[in-house]
Structure 1
Amino acid sequence: MGTQWQHDTVDVLGLRVSRMDVPTLRGLLGTAMAERRRLTVTFANPDYALRAAKDPALRDLINRFDLVLADGWGVVAATRIFGRPVPTRMANDDLTNEFFGTPHRVFLFGNAPGVAEEAAANLRRWFPEVTVAGVRHGHWADASGTIPPGTARRIVNEINEAKPDVLHVGLGTPLQQWFVAEYGDRLDVPVIVTCGAYFEHLAERRQYYPPWVLRLRIGFLYRLAREPRRLWRRYTVELGEYVLRVLAQRLRRKARNP
């Protein structure tokens, strides 16, 4: 992964974030599907970037992907602070039309039992030109935090038998990146995209940001208000640490290149 789609990137706490706009991404997706060339896509938000800064193994996993898109305005802001801005935020929810707006075959792998099926039902209604070739839930990890080899091989075989053009893997980080890195060579799928809890949004089980939240770019405050017990540390202590690390990286760069 990560070698055949050359493009400009910017370092955000060690992650190579792709500097591209939506039309460019749309073109790459179309080329990959038309030519059956492997294109792996994952995302970087402030939480992932902070975790990767502390965990070299996670950093290396993410950087093995062909594209690492800016998921979150905190990452977009960091690229601007570094003087090498990305054009816009590109989270899974921002790219629904790009991922499902053209005729092709998709496979949804991940999230809790039943979620992918509900997401698939909505996709068939919203995007009738797309064929949902298969679905499989993502609750397979054992006590080690990985999917047992025998189970993973069965899932890989099921995906290959469905012959999708795009595979969406929603297992959470770092399991989804590990699965793609470990089994990507065995998957006969040109485009593989990690997507976290995206199927829950497609299934309309979890409300996504209202338009006014997106306009004001305060998605983190909206999520914190909705789930304070689960997210308070991520959007206070950890977000503060992320900002300090970004500023420290900016100062180091300025010292090296006055």
Structure 2
Amino acid sequence: MKRLGVEVDTSRRKIDLLGVYVDAITQDELFDYVSEVIRRSEKAIVANHNLHSIYLYHKRPRMREFYARAGLVHIDGMPIVYWGRLRGLPLKLEHRLAYIDFVPPLLSLAATKGWRVYYLGGKPGVAERAADGFRGRFPDLIIRTHDGYFDNDSDVIADIRAFGPDLLFVGMGMPRQEEWIVDNLGRLQAHVIMNCGAAFDYFAGEKPTPPRWLSGMGLEWAFRLLTEPRRLARRYLVEPWLMLPIFLRDLRSRRRGG
């Protein structure tokens, strides 16, 4: 299946692990890619992987279709970095790109360059509250939001098309956001489409933000589990055990030199 977006040489940074491909890129490289897609008026999915998405990738065909169409897949999860290091792969802390860290500087760049930004997701009013905060920080930012509670795709897509975003963030949780993008990709008129989970919930103050010092230790998951145990218990306490066969296959592949 053909990927969307700018053709770039990723041979030195594309990494195969746990049955998926990720691009070992830095924040600056991510921003360069986004800028180039928009400059060329092309269309690209910029995706991300963490352990939860890898678990869903192996379970759901449409998740695999989503990642097959992505022009770039950055790492969003320190466990992936640690696992890559265990396998002897050249992954560093700077290759872990979390939305909570890079969205503010990306929106600052959008304001500077005049990019139009659309965020789809969250409860009614939450994303707009986050957008108001960003408008206060970046007065030139052009941003529109829509909540993720809707029944009619056509109305939402019509609103997106009328706005004509350069950057479209879809934050409706996995796997809904990825499958929604796949289902509507042909009708979405946006240059860069990013799946971003509940990112704007944190910026709106709807959810507590993990202390950033936990990021480098790979312990953000523990903070989120403590603050949302009912929603996240399966993801953090059950899914890693269900992924054991994937980890074992990955180790065998490495021993064979694959």
Give the TM-score of the pair, scaled to structure 2: 0.86
2:53 corresponds to: 48
2:103 corresponds to: 96
Cα distance change on mapping 1:129 and 1:247 into 2, 3 Å: farther
AA in 2 matched with 1:204: G
Q: After alignment, is 237-246 or 117-126 more displaced?
A: 237-246
AA in 2 matched with 1:157: A
Q: Deviation string for 1:78-112 (max 9, x for gaps)?
A: 22233333442112112113420212211111111
AA in 1 matched with 2:49: A
Cα distance change on mapping 1:90 and 1:209 into 2, 3 Å: same
Q: 2:64 aligned with 1:39, yes or no?
A: no
2:147 corresponds to: 137
Q: CA deviation at 1:24?
A: 0.9
Cα distance change on mapping 1:99 and 1:156 into 2, 3 Å: same
2:201 corresponds to: 200
AA in 2 matched with 1:33: I
AA in 1 matched with 2:130: A
Contact 2:52 2:235 in 1 (8 A): yes
Q: Deviation string for 1:130-175 (max 9, x for gaps)?
A: 211x21111125xxxxxxxxx2222112111112211111121222
SS at match of 2:238: helix
Alignment equivalent of 2:19, drawn from 14, 22, 25: 14
SS at match of 1:54: coil
Alpha-carbon separation, structure 2, partners of 1:183 and 1:236 = 33
1:144 corresponds to: none
AA in 2 matched with 1:139: Y
Alpha-carbon separation, structure 2, partners of 1:204 and 1:156 = 27
Question: What value does the CA root-mean-square deviation take over the aligned residues?
Answer: 2.1
Q: Which residues of structure 1 form unaligned runs of 5+?
A: 142-150
AA in 2 matched with 1:94: D
Alpha-carbon separation, structure 1, partners of 2:24 and 2:169 = 22
1:154 corresponds to: 155
Q: CA deviation at 1:243?
A: 5.5
Cα distance change on mapping 1:81 and 1:59 into 2, 3 Å: farther
Q: Report matched runs for 1:224-235 at 5 Å.
A: 224-235=225-236
Moved over 4 A (4+): none
AA in 2 matched with 1:13: L
1:112 corresponds to: 123
Cα distance change on mapping 1:110 and 1:229 into 2, 3 Å: closer
Contact 1:105 1:165 in 2 (8 A): yes
Q: CA deviation at 1:237?
A: 2.7
> What is the percentage of aligned positions where both structures have the same residue?
29
Q: CA deviation at 1:69?
A: 1.5
Alignment equivalent of 1:59, drawn from 51, 60, 64: 64
Q: CA deviation at 1:244?
A: 5.7
AA in 1 matched with 2:99: N
Alpha-carbon separation, structure 2, partners of 1:185 and 1:92 = 25
Contact 2:62 2:182 in 1 (8 A): no
Alpha-carbon separation, structure 2, partners of 1:160 and 1:176 = 18
Q: Which residues of structure 2 form unaligned runs of 5+?
A: none
AA in 2 matched with 1:137: D
Contact 1:10 1:16 in 2 (8 A): yes
